[in-house]
Structure 1
């Protein structure tokens, strides 16, 4: 029975903590204590220059054709 009381006390404590938190305290958006899906990264002030997809491909060498030497037509093997 004491284990259940400990769990209930922990739940009550968590509920009280969540109930007293106001949104936007400390300049941060509010996040539920059990919400582990959101990362707490600091917002970066560095802006990334926007480039087109073609420019990005040129910079990352994506115009390279990996299978350029493979013939377009493949012949079936005579083995059934």
Structure 2
């Protein structure tokens, strides 16, 4: 799956990686940084779930729209 450089999912994934790397790099900030990584992961999962629900609702509504045939068509 290709993600655009401006994709929110790519941003969130990179942010999670950055926070995880920062947590592993410093022993002083370890506990609080790990907590931030966990919170970020949970927020990413929630955002993905909400996005999936919205996508499915829009797709279902779009599929239910019927477009009449043009007059004089085949």
Greater share of residues in helix: 2
Greater relative contact order (Cα < 8 A, sep 6+): 2
| TM score, norm. by length of structure 1 | 0.30
| TM score, norm. by length of structure 2 | 0.32
